[in-house]
Amino acid sequence: MKRPERIEEELLRLRQNKKSIGTLLLTESIMLVLVIVLLFTVNIGAVYALCGAILIFNLLIIRPSVRRYRNELTAMEVMYGAAGDIQECIYKDKDKLDKDTLERDKFVSPREWPTEAICRHSVSGRYIDACVQMCECSFAVKYGSRRTNTMFLSGTYIQAEMRKGTGLSISCISRDIPYISEDRPELLGYGYMPADFTIEKAGKLEWAFSTDGNIPDWFQKQFIKLVGQGSKIMVNLDDDKFRLFIVSRYFAVKHRLNETVSEESLTRNRLPEKTAVFDTLRIIQQNAVLEKRKEK
């Protein structure tokens, strides 16, 4: 589903769909009242027949309409809200991520991945000169020495591929993510070494790794902003690829039919880290351009 260009038209359509569902629910209520009346006026067979008709009406008409409305409302909120900075935005209710994505992104040491990753509410498009995908996901992660030790790590995953490379290879991981970074992760197999900090606060918040043992000051400052909402975050910058996983953070919500739909509700940002994430991506791209100019 592509993001509509005019939010006013989409808002009107959602309101019309909600009104139609209200008419269907009113019709069902009238039919239920009729059942009560028939209990005292006709034989029980007629009552059973009407109850069967109400059940079919509910299962085949009302429920699909409600489910479709909720799905469309969620899609619009995601595309206009959390993904509002993404141009040419496309939404998918279900998408695919490799089950070993966290290992590919150099967040965890090599291990077994027992089941496929779950990927929902996926949006993709462009941000400045980067191709971006964002989704809610859940990974089954093996830990420890026993084959039965499995935990699920869920949250918001963002990946971007930039047109210009940075020449950097860095991983920064929040401390105290259960079974991931309670102690310093073992990432030496990726050619990484523990990195030194020039900002003391950054060293208290994260474990950091790079190929040369250094982290640029601007990157440390951005990581501090990313965790400013109290979240646990994993970040990897590998030349032209940027990967970020925000643990236990989600941007899509479930809805009740009696909720008011407005332009404000459609554009509301439900991901507290959104601004810092896209600021980081913008700064990374700016630094990539500056570095290329220095080389020339």
Instruction: For 160-183, write each residue's pLDDT tens digit.
Output: 999 888 889 999 999 999 888 888
Instruction: For 231-270, write each residue's pLDDT tens digit.
Output: 899 999 999 999 999 999 999 988 888 888 999 999 999 9
DSSP summary character for residue 177: -
The confidence score (pLDDT) of residue 296 equals 46
Quote the longest CA-to-CA distance of the chain: 92
The confidence score (pLDDT) of residue 146 equals 66
More confident residue, 197 or 76: 76
How confident is the model over 101-129, as a mean pLDDT? 92
How confident is the model over 187-205, as a mean pLDDT? 87
The confidence score (pLDDT) of residue 197 equals 83
The confidence score (pLDDT) of residue 189 equals 87
Measured between alpha carbons, how far is 32 from 29 in angstroms, rounded to an integer? 5
Measured between alpha carbons, how far is 210 from 106 in angstroms, rounded to an integer? 11
By the 8 A CB rule, do 195 and 173 touch? Answer: no
How confident is the model over 66-73, as a mean pLDDT? 94
pLDDT averaged over every residue in the chain: 89
Q: Is the pLDDT of residue 148 over 80?
A: no
The confidence score (pLDDT) of residue 178 equals 86
- Give me the helix-helix angle, 7-39 and 63-77, nearest 10°: 160
Residues of the chain above pLDDT 90, percent: 60
